[in-house]
A and B are shown apart, each in its own frame.
Chain A
């Protein structure tokens, strides 16, 4: 089956630093990748949709300058949380779809970000 990996699985950083999270599709070409954020005991909220080679589309209320998304290849998308603050602490999950973005999304295992 289709596998999506995320790295790192956990990261702890100091307030004001930037953190990069990688999302990789291991056995298929992900033309579309999605980034979600999940607070404890809450649902997943879509942050942005990225298509390979083009700018990401951000959901309303998500700061594009704070959450930088790059989808440089068909197997890799990165999310950089810039100048992280404690309120950015969350579980970040990516998903990837092959071909049409409405095709099934395969989810990564998530990255737990803790900002001190």
Chain B
């Protein structure tokens, strides 16, 4: 079985400050890892994904994440946030083999960027 834990339910930060949203996963099989962003009353938009290869993954809107297999983590980072980054962020995992594409989501982290 797979699971995802997002360690922070809310992260307040000032504009132009750096931010890290933490995500840990557990799985007995190889995994794919994802970060999604959800704006109020909207669906999810993919920020970035790790499938294989380089452990540092760059995504849209200046976000990046690093896959750390030994620590089973996939933390999301941005060096300088904007007001428009205020949203809910979800980390997700799927098995890389024969999992039928099922995504298991974390609880979400609410990023609040203040001026």
Residues on A facing B (Cβ under 8 Å): 4, 6, 32, 34, 41-46, 49, 57, 91, 93, 95, 97, 100-105, 107-110, 112
Contacts and interface: CB of A to CB of B under 8 A. Distances in A.
B43 A110 contact: yes
A89 to B, nearest CB: 14
21 contacts: A34-B103, A44-B103, A46-B102, A46-B103, A49-B100, A49-B102, A91-B41, A93-B44, A100-B101, A101-B101, A102-B94, A102-B96, A103-B101, A104-B46, A105-B101, A107-B36, A107-B43, A107-B44, A108-B43, A109-B42, A112-B41
B101 A102 contact: yes
A interface secondary structure, majority: strand
B interface secondary structure, majority: loop
B41 A32 contact: no
Interface stretch (B62-70, B79-87, B105-113): B105-113
B106 A32 contact: no
A105 B103 contact: yes
Interface in B30-87: 32, 36, 41-46, 49
A20 B46 CA distance: 27
Given A43-B90, A102-B94, A104-B49, A109 B43 contact: yes
Interface size class of B (residues with CB under 8 A): 20 to 34
A7 to B, nearest CB: 13
Nearest to B49: A104
B81 to A, nearest CB: 21
A97 B43 CA distance: 15
Contact of B105 (A41, A43, A97): A43
Contacts of B99: 102
A103 B46 CA distance: 13
6 closest residue pairs by CB, A with B: A101-B101, A107-B43, A107-B44, A102-B101, A43-B105, A109-B43
Contact of A110 (B41, B100, B102, B103): B41
Contacts of B101: 32, 34, 49, 97, 100-103, 105
